[in-house]
Structure 1
Amino acid sequence: MTLDGDKKKKCIIAGVVSGLLVIMVVSVAIIASKNSPNENEIRQNTKAVKTVCAPTDYKETCLKSLMDASPKSTEPLALIKLSFNVTIKSIQEGLKKASEDVKHKADKHPEAKDAFELCEKVMNDAIADLKKCVDHKVSVDEIERFIKDLRVWISGSIAFQQTCIDTFEEIKSTLKHDMINIFKRSRQLSSNSLAMVTDLNSNATELTGAFENNARKLLSTEDGVPTWVGPEARRLMGAPGGPPVKANAVVAQDGSGQFKTINDALNAVPKENKVPFVIHIKEGVYKEKVVVTRKMPYVTFIGDGPTKTVITGSLNFGIGKVKTYLTAPLTVEGEHFTAKGIGMENTAGPEGGQAVALRVSGDYAVFFDCQIDGYQDTLYVHSQRQFYRDCTVSGTVDFIFGDSQCILQNCKIVVRKPMAGQSCMVTAQGRSDVREPTGIVLHNCHIVGDPAYIPVKTARKAYLGRPWKEFSRTIVMKTIVDDVIDPAGWLPWSGDFALKTLYYAEHLNVGPGANQAQRVKWPGIKKLTPEQALSYTGDRFLSGNTWIPRTQVPYTAGM
């Protein structure tokens, strides 16, 4: 081949290679442009994110977290659900960092080690509540209920996150500050998610059209039970006119039932249970640590009476150094739990300090004709929606406490004799975010003193409550208040903490202890109008009409 031929061949090859390179570059550019948002999309996404972040308290965190997550939609609900996922990821990253940076320090001290393990547990519970929000289906005709569900579950997640920090605070560990710093972003993201969902309330009508494409109708019959529930489930759910409920399991210490322990009966609850599983617990004192887990929804306990069927324990923090969260002989974490005619007690005594008789963290919990006895921290209404009717609750310090959306209706509240130098506080509500729909409501109750308390009531005073957290909310209405309550009514937690941000109200109460003439004059003390008071009734505060009647428990929807 000639020299000119070689040059010509090389030129052809070079041209072909250059052409292929150009084609490759152009192809990559086209693919990249298809996979990357254009300027218009970025502008639209940014505008939508700014709008949904507008009501939040941590706007910079909100904007950055959502834009970094590359939103695929500008719909408000899609962005809010993206916020849930971002928060879940943040908690997971926090747990990983805590495991790397804090665990080895905690392992050196038994109490701190236990606190860290509990923190891991409740943080995973926080994630579980957020996942419920992500998975929750929209109902076109029940948007308001949909929003209420999200608010309750986000608040539940916040309560679990706060429990992690409280656990380290309880043992006065300096690791508390490490954990606060690690989970600071997660807490801000949770607060932002709650703010976004709360803001949806004002736009619910406008959002109806946006929801319809991905929504489903939750059809119900006249009895309020969804149409997709079969006849057996309908009977057990307590539809009006149905026959008496038949127990799925019977617990008896004398061997006359299928099981001798309550925990053995709970182990018989079917996996992924979706219909009521009724456990009849015969008369007896059951010294067990009973836990109705998240994997045990729709469980019903029926006892032989609140003083005949008793679940008892004595775990406590004061002497036994067991974390308060873990001291209850009965713990309820499963949804749709109902208890009727059961007693729960913690026998640690006043010297045992924090000693819970019942802790409830499961949504839609109902307790009827139950006796809940203890001293400090008797009833831990930790989170979610809870309703107590015709129950007796006794204790001394902060004996009804937690961050649930909770009503005690027609209940007897008994102040017991505390140790010398102690005061008694009926409530210590723990709302830590102003947008949480949570609070403790005492409706049509009777606050009395135990006979042993009466002789010492002047020296060891009793109060309606004190603020455990910054936005503590407690309402006492249509309640008989005996002269066991000090005229001041309410007690500070520490100095002026939360006195401006709490929300405490008394409405239409009677009795010698109900006189408000000498009550404290804090900025957070409210005087309710009749219309405002209705906001704390069973129907409005708990949306109780949609779930309480099917348990066949007496229930007053209004004032």
Structure 2
Amino acid sequence: MGDSKSRVAVFAGIAAVLMLAAVIAAAVLFSRNSEEKHDTGKPGVGTTSKAVKLVCSPTDYKETCEKTLAGANTTDPKKLIEAAFNATVGSITEVLRSSTLLKKAATDPSTKGAFDVCDEVLENAVDDLRSSIQKIESLDAGKAKAYVADLRTRLAAVGDDQETCVDAFENTTGDTGEKMKDLLKTAKEMASNGLAMVTDLSKILGTLQLSKVLGSGGGGASGARKLMTEEYIDRRILQVVELKPTMVVAKDGSGQFKTISDALKTLPMKNNETLIVISIKAGVYEETVILPKKVNKVVLLGEGPTKTVITGNLNFAAGVKTYHTATLAVNADEFIAKDLTIENTAGSEGHQAVALRVSGDQAVLYNVNIFGYQDSLYAHKYRQFYRGCAISGTIDFVFGDSLAIFQDCTFVVRKPGPNQACMVTAQGRIDTRSPGGFVLQKSRITAEPELLSTKPAVKVYLGRPWKEMSRTIIMNSDIGGFIDPTGWSPWAGTFAIDTCYYAEFENQGPGSGTSGRVTWKGIKKITPQIAESWTGGVAYGGDSWIKTAGVPYVPTMMQV
């Protein structure tokens, strides 16, 4: 173990040196470019063009990128990236204006419901872009890894929200959905370009002035030390917080509030700096609970999954858009839930019916039951961590595009409706650079007795690719024998079977054999090193938010 740590430290030091070398090389390049400026001190057209091409070089939509930045009269790549983000804000804002006009013209209730979803998620996309601009303005190479992880998370979410808007128009009448897709085409390309810009860390660092990259005190040696000690060899001791109730919800009237929603209404609608712990006493709370965006650091603390239950039955069959069917919708960051149950009781006849939707960053759930049928858990976007949770359902019952790690969780497959098959996961990554992916780590895939006794047997799969770059890794877990030997189900025809990323690593149980698995190009055989890269200590780009949540957590590989 000691030798392993030494090797990690050596490799970290090498990485730091290489990163600084890249920064220095980029700084020299831009220094040379600056010599081409006119006597006025303003950049020449050729110089600006070179800077734009450099910033746009890692993007997939280079023509859109270069057109976006054509009028930016600067050679400072940092400002060019900010300009690209600002232009994307403008593009999405224009879509929102058009959406308002189209919504007024719509007569179909389902179409109006889709516009309601778009209004919400596109506003969230604009917020994420503005947050990204602020991060670029304060980018510090000493915290490069964490900064880039945050930026990638936010920019991937911008794409996810636009995709959520388009998805809301499924099964609506008329051509409004196609109109919205056309309106978002350029904005989606611009969002993808922004994600590409920040994914290549060395190029991002190379766009900053060397003195700023190395810090205000900034010699190269001190910068290197800061980079190594703060980022690659993080030895900080994290303090686990004690969860003392801020307020109490009790259905019997013994607390300050009788409903969770009433308690949430009293919270400040702004970024909160301290934990707000809402103790929820035993009882069945029949309500739709929505935690608003920016009401951060809220903890819902139950008395146990069998005692504290939040329940609802909103569903797609009743005319509610999937996004808005959640019994509990979490839109804020740094959310924690412990010791309770969240359920949607609409049943298989309700079709899409979400129990929990998490649309906030750095969410932690421990000892939480998430019960439903189709689409039980909508792990929508950002970073999420689940420990010791039980999640039940039928079709795609864990779906979304977050980077979600499930440790020591139980996935329970239920009996579906007539002529239906079951899929545990339906991961929805849409961009190759998105950090999104589902990781099932030392977990269990089981089934209710009612499903196991069904004749003929129900087809059950580990997952299917909801979106083109769908990604799921199952490792060190126990897989029940009821899972179809082929393992993974197609979504429709050959869609995404070459571009998805599905891996199984050192699992056990009667359903874990891989000899009969589908042989798509997207089925991967991963090494122990790759498996390690999907642990929380690596994949999240910083996991202090889990360590301070006061829940069991292993940042490395776990054995069954």
Once residues 442 and 209 of structure 2 are traced to their aligned partners in structure 1, the CA distance between those partners, rounded to angstroms, is 37
The change in CA–CA distance for 1:222 and 1:544 in structure 2 (over 3 A counts) is closer
Matched residue SS, 1:486: coil
AA of the residue aligned to 1:335? D
Q: Which 5+ residue runs of structure 2 have no aligned equivalent? A: 1-36, 218-225
How far 1:546 sits from its partner (Å)?
2.3
Contact 1:457 1:484 in 2 (8 A): no
| 1:385 alignment partner in structure 2 | 383
1:353 is aligned, of 314, 327, 351, to 351
The change in CA–CA distance for 1:207 and 1:308 in structure 2 (over 3 A counts) is same
| 1:180 alignment partner in structure 2 | 181
Matched residue SS, 2:110: helix
How far 1:202 sits from its partner (Å)?
6.0
1:403 is aligned, of 401, 404, 411, to 401
Once residues 199 and 223 of structure 1 are traced to their aligned partners in structure 2, the CA distance between those partners, rounded to angstroms, is 27
User: What whole-Å deviation, never above 9, does each CA across 1:3-60 have from its counterpart, x for those lacking one?
Assistant: xxxxxxxxxxxxxxxxxxxxxxxxxxxxxxx999888522211100001101111111
| 1:20 alignment partner in structure 2 | none
Once residues 543 and 209 of structure 2 are traced to their aligned partners in structure 1, the CA distance between those partners, rounded to angstroms, is 23
Give yes or no for the alignment of 1:332 onto 2:330. Answer: yes
Once residues 308 and 48 of structure 1 are traced to their aligned partners in structure 2, the CA distance between those partners, rounded to angstroms, is 60
| 2:5 alignment partner in structure 1 | none
Which of 1 and 2 has greater Rg? 1
The change in CA–CA distance for 1:40 and 1:115 in structure 2 (over 3 A counts) is closer
User: What whole-Å deviation, never above 9, does each CA across 1:328-350 have from its counterpart, x for those lacking one?
Assistant: 11000100000010100000011
AA of the residue aligned to 1:54? S
| 1:144 alignment partner in structure 2 | 145
The change in CA–CA distance for 1:37 and 1:324 in structure 2 (over 3 A counts) is farther
| 1:321 alignment partner in structure 2 | 319
Once residues 519 and 56 of structure 2 are traced to their aligned partners in structure 1, the CA distance between those partners, rounded to angstroms, is 36
Give yes or no for the alignment of 1:168 onto 2:169. Answer: yes
User: What whole-Å deviation, never above 9, does each CA across 1:84-110 have from its counterpart, x for those lacking one?
Assistant: 11100011112223333x22432x111
Q: Which 5+ residue runs of structure 1 have no aligned equivalent? A: 1-33, 226-238
How far 1:455 sits from its partner (Å)?
1.1
The change in CA–CA distance for 1:271 and 1:174 in structure 2 (over 3 A counts) is closer
1:270 is aligned, of 246, 268, 271, to 268
Aligned residues: 506
Contact 1:353 1:376 in 2 (8 A): yes
Contact 2:537 2:543 in 1 (8 A): yes
How far 1:367 sits from its partner (Å)?
0.1
Contact 1:472 1:502 in 2 (8 A): yes
| 1:90 alignment partner in structure 2 | 91
Q: Which ranges of 4 or more aligned residues in structure 1 deviate by more than 4 Å?
A: 34-40, 201-208, 213-225
Contact 1:250 1:282 in 2 (8 A): yes
Matched residue SS, 1:95: helix
| 1:289 alignment partner in structure 2 | 288
Once residues 211 and 552 of structure 2 are traced to their aligned partners in structure 1, the CA distance between those partners, rounded to angstroms, is 39
AA of the residue aligned to 1:264? D
| 1:516 alignment partner in structure 2 | 514
Contact 2:76 2:207 in 1 (8 A): no
| 2:125 alignment partner in structure 1 | 126
| 1:50 alignment partner in structure 2 | 53
Alignment RMSD: 2.4
Q: When the two structures are superposed, what TM-score results if normalisation uses the length of structure 1?
A: 0.86
How far 1:456 sits from its partner (Å)?
2.1
| 1:67 alignment partner in structure 2 | 70
* Higher alpha-carbon deviation: 449-458 or 386-395: 449-458
Give yes or no for the alignment of 1:473 onto 2:476. Answer: no
Matched residue SS, 2:70: helix
* Higher alpha-carbon deviation: 259-268 or 548-557: 259-268
How far 1:119 sits from its partner (Å)?
1.0
Once residues 203 and 471 of structure 2 are traced to their aligned partners in structure 1, the CA distance between those partners, rounded to angstroms, is 22
How far 1:376 sits from its partner (Å)?
0.1
Once residues 159 and 122 of structure 1 are traced to their aligned partners in structure 2, the CA distance between those partners, rounded to angstroms, is 9
Once residues 39 and 398 of structure 2 are traced to their aligned partners in structure 1, the CA distance between those partners, rounded to angstroms, is 54
Matched residue SS, 2:511: helix
Once residues 420 and 98 of structure 2 are traced to their aligned partners in structure 1, the CA distance between those partners, rounded to angstroms, is 40
Once residues 80 and 41 of structure 1 are traced to their aligned partners in structure 2, the CA distance between those partners, rounded to angstroms, is 19
Matched residue SS, 1:305: coil
After superposition, residues 97-136 of structure 1 pair within 5 angstroms as 97-100=98-101, 102-106=102-106, 108-136=107-135
AA of the residue aligned to 1:479? S
How far 1:214 sits from its partner (Å)?
8.0
Matched residue SS, 2:485: coil
| 1:251 alignment partner in structure 2 | 249
* Higher alpha-carbon deviation: 88-97 or 364-373: 88-97
| 1:27 alignment partner in structure 2 | none
Give yes or no for the alignment of 1:78 onto 2:79. Answer: yes
1:261 is aligned, of 259, 264, 268, to 259
| 1:343 alignment partner in structure 2 | 341
The change in CA–CA distance for 1:424 and 1:224 in structure 2 (over 3 A counts) is same
Once residues 457 and 204 of structure 1 are traced to their aligned partners in structure 2, the CA distance between those partners, rounded to angstroms, is 60
Once residues 325 and 40 of structure 2 are traced to their aligned partners in structure 1, the CA distance between those partners, rounded to angstroms, is 53
Once residues 251 and 222 of structure 1 are traced to their aligned partners in structure 2, the CA distance between those partners, rounded to angstroms, is 39
User: What whole-Å deviation, never above 9, does each CA across 1:171-230 have from its counterpart, x for those lacking one?
Assistant: 3652111001111110010011111111235664885836438889998997556xxxxx
Once residues 353 and 268 of structure 1 are traced to their aligned partners in structure 2, the CA distance between those partners, rounded to angstroms, is 34
2:482 is aligned, of 481, 484, 493, to 484
The change in CA–CA distance for 1:207 and 1:178 in structure 2 (over 3 A counts) is same
User: What whole-Å deviation, never above 9, does each CA across 1:511-542 have from its counterpart, x for those lacking one?
Assistant: 11000010000011000011111111111112
Contact 1:388 1:407 in 2 (8 A): yes
Matched residue SS, 1:183: helix
Contact 1:139 1:215 in 2 (8 A): no
Matched residue SS, 1:408: strand
AA of the residue aligned to 1:158? G
Once residues 398 and 354 of structure 1 are traced to their aligned partners in structure 2, the CA distance between those partners, rounded to angstroms, is 9
